[in-house]
Amino acid sequence: MPTEILMPALSPTMEEGTLAKWLVKEGDTVSSGDLLAEIETDKATMEFEAVDEGVIGKILIAEGSEGVKVNTVIAVLIEEGESVDDIAAPAAPAAVSASAEAVPVATAVAAAVPAPQAKDGSRLFVTPLARRIAADKGVDLSQITGSGPHGRIIKADVIGSSATAPAPQTETAAAPAMATGPSADTVARMYEDREYEEIPLNGMRKIIAARLTEAKQSIPHFYLRRDIKLDALLKFRAELNDQLATRGVKLSVNDFIIKACALALQTVPDANSVWAGDRMLKLKPSDVAVAVAIEGGLFTPVLKDADTKSLTALSTEMKDLAARARDRKLAPHEYQGGSFAISNLGMMGIDSFDAVINPPHGAILAVGAGAKRPVVGNDGELAVATVMTVTLSVDHRVIDGALGAELLQSIVDNLENPMVMLA
């Protein structure tokens, strides 16, 4: 009996992906665990393994196809004694080939047929041939009990059934789409007399645009700013690096910032929380995400249990994550999760900025450059100090103003008194 191979969800948030490369061809025999294809998500390229054994009877989605929805049938596996003739012609797949022409919207909507479901809402398992016969005869598959392996509905079940499918419902007018500015055609007309290069959006850019738009529209941001004196930290860092030179370790200011934030989340545990729709999740470990810029976008790899790790361990792990992020070699579990994020543009000369919260995080710290500034000392005398401005963007649903101020004060205390972080 033919088995459908579906587009996998390689991460909890994945909705679609690009079928970058097939590692098998029609007629190949595969076993469970064999590599079938390379799938590109918005963040990485991952290998997809077979879970069943059989022969690749038909490949339905070509290499390079973009926008393949999760659970779309991408290939069909046949067993011994079966042939490709047993495979029903599938509905148009939900994918856009890199070289294919655009499909009219009306046609695409008409071709989108939901997977059959049982009366209790669970998914029905149906052979492609049985599904085609049911569609031709108008048979309601939810009324049929399958006699195939594991309850799968087969051809004989449909032919012998008199269950009729319910009449299709008239589609109601769709709700107007959320306004996102002028259309692409409108913008193009504005610049039709100017020379420009059109740059298509890749998967990562589309996801960044969608999620950050959602974040700014749905998360009630507020911002807390503080100046941090870095002289004690810079002196302490220089001393540590001198002692660590023989081990090939060189700590960065960012390593200290990660450690300071992780410890602050333990000092102010109520701020170590994320928004989960109808509730909040208060985390016990300090899992800190750090923004890493790559060509065409960014990653936020997560340093888990950062409060329990040494500065050298954090430095080594951060360098590894950043290098693999730039090569797009991170696995989903390495850039998902965390309750707090850091975005550091100080090394690019930015004095201060406001970062956008990456949901479901409760806050993100935007770090500016350290620079020599005049300051008034405790004795009232004017002096010069290295000062860094940070801005804490906070989700007001998770963290109130006073709690956010307490968290930021703890971060400041850790950075201005760096030896405390080793206690």
Q: pLDDT of 33-45, one tens digit each?
A: 888 998 887 667 7
pLDDT recorded at residue 43: 67
Number of domains in the chain: 3
When pLDDT is averaged across residues 45-54 and rounded to a whole number, the result is 82
Check residue 227 and give its pLDDT.
Answer: 97
Domain finish residue from 91, 111, 131: 111
**Do 60 and 131 fall within a single domain?**
no
pLDDT at 123: 59
Same domain, 124 and 53: no
Q: Which is nearest to 324 in space by CA: 334, 314, 310? A: 334
* Domain-located, residue 338: yes
Q: Give me the residue label for tokens 């067993």.
A: 79
Q: 143 falls in which pLDDT band (50, 70, 90)?
A: confident
| Confidence class for position 210, pLDDT limits 50, 70, 90 | confident
Q: What pLDDT does 84 receive?
A: 65
pLDDT of residue 99: 38
Catalytic residue among 221, 333, 361, 396: 396
Q: In terms of domains, do 154 and 135 share one? A: yes
Q: Is 4 helix (H, G, I), strand (E, B) or coil?
A: strand
Altogether, the residues listed in the chain come to a count of 423
- Relative to beta strand 382-395, strand 363-376 is antiparallel
Residue 178 in domain: no
Residue 328 confidence class, pLDDT cut points 50, 70, 90: confident
Task: Find where tokens 């055609």 sit.
Answer: 185
Q: Of 79, 111, 143, which residue is a domain's last?
A: 111
- Judgement on whether residues 56 and 83 belong to the same structural domain of the protein: yes
Q: What angle do CA 314, 317, 323 make, to 5 degrees?
A: 135
Beta bridge mates, 267: none
Cis preceding linkage at 360, omega within 30: yes
Domain around 60 = 1-111
- At 290 the pLDDT is 97
Question: pLDDT tens digit string along 213-224?
Answer: 889 899 999 999
Q: Are residues 14 and 130 in the same domain?
A: no
Average pLDDT, the chain: 82
Q: Residues 360-382, buried b or exposed e (16+ Cβ, 10 A)?
A: bbbbbbbbbbbeeeeeeeeeeee
Higher pLDDT, 27 or 12: 27
Mark whether 96 and 118 lie in a shared domain.
no
At 2, the pLDDT band (50, 70, 90 cuts) reads confident
Q: Is residue 67 part of a domain?
A: yes
Tens-place pLDDT, residues 372-420:
999 998 888 899 999 999 999 999 999 999 999 999 999 999 999 999 9
- The CATH number for 314's domain is 3.30.559.10
Higher-scoring residue by pLDDT: 366, 180: 366
Looking at the fold, whether 303 and 377 belong to one and the same domain comes out as yes
Which CATH number fits the domain that encloses residue 40?
2.40.50.100
Looking at per-residue confidence, does 91 or 320 come out higher?
Answer: 320
Residue 77 tokens, joined: 């596996």
For CA atoms 132, 133, 138, 143, the dihedral sign is negative
Tell me which of 111, 132, 158 is where a domain ends.
111
Same domain, 152 and 294: no
**Residue 182 within any structural domain of the chain:** no
Q: Is residue 15 part of a domain?
A: yes
**Same structural domain, 148 and 230:** no
Q: Which one has a higher pLDDT value, 174 or 414?
A: 414
Q: What six digits make up the tokens of 20? A: 């970058």
Residue 173: its pLDDT value, please?
40
Q: What is the mean pLDDT of residues 66-73?
A: 87
Residue 141 lies in a domain: yes
Q: Which two tokens stand for residue 158?
A: 């449909």
Q: Do 254 and 399 sit in the same domain of this protein?
A: yes
DSSP H or E segment with residue 187: helix 184-190
In a domain, 179, yes or no: no
**Do 211 and 346 fall within a single domain?**
yes
CATH code, domain with 129: 4.10.320.10
With bands split at pLDDT 50, 70 and 90, how would you rate the model's confidence at 241? very high
| Domain match, 293 and 326 both | yes
More confident residue, 184 or 156: 184
Residue 185 lies in a domain: no
What local confidence, expressed as pLDDT, does residue 51 receive?
80
Residue 349 predicted with pLDDT over 60: yes
Q: What average pLDDT score do residues 157-182 get?
A: 54
Q: Specify whether 396 is catalytic.
A: yes
